[in-house]
Chains A and B, each alone.
Chain A
């Protein structure tokens, strides 16, 4: 492998690593968007308690 070939190989490797790095960053962004954070979870639980007051309180019976 002469110097020109080595430079080309290094450039190809750099490109591959940059592409991989780009996709990993994008995937982490998409994953972060899909995570339901604690405040949102608490807000839903609060809604459930408000709805329970409107519906009445059915007893929590153990499964048959």
Chain B
């Protein structure tokens, strides 16, 4: 038992050494062999683009099934008008998806810190849009 106690620090050290990389696994990593070639900034931006697009589709679907509720609510009517404009095939510079696509394309084509910062600003804008729109839909999801 005395000998076992002598090895306890070694056991503890090995356990700590083994567990320490766990903190590094909290974020997804991209297989560099994939289409994004390990570019996590572009992957994150595209994930947000897909999220915003899915939200637009969700809003349109809910509005089709609940026309009376949307007509009676100014905030829902405004949200529906906004998401329909986002995906009407005519991009406008004030649209969230158009801004995101332009920024991700510029980042992909030209790279650099400035393009990455601009893209991250657009990602923040999109997150704000998602945060604003999602609560309006909560009553339909319950």
Contacts and interface: CB of A to CB of B under 8 A. Distances in A.
Contact of A54 (B15, B33, B89, B115): B89
- Which applies to chain B's interface (DSSP): helix, strand, loop or mixed? helix
- Which applies to chain A's interface (DSSP): helix, strand, loop or mixed? helix
Given A37-B31, A37-B34, A48 B102 contact: no
Interface of A: 1, 5, 8-9, 11-13, 15-17, 19-20, 22-24, 27, 30-31, 34-38, 40-42, 44-45, 47-48, 51-64
Contacts of B36: 36, 41, 44-45
Interface of B: 1-4, 6-7, 10-11, 14-15, 17-19, 21-22, 25, 27-31, 33-36, 43, 46-47, 49-50, 53, 86-91, 93, 95, 97-99, 101-102, 104-106, 108-110, 112, 114-115, 118
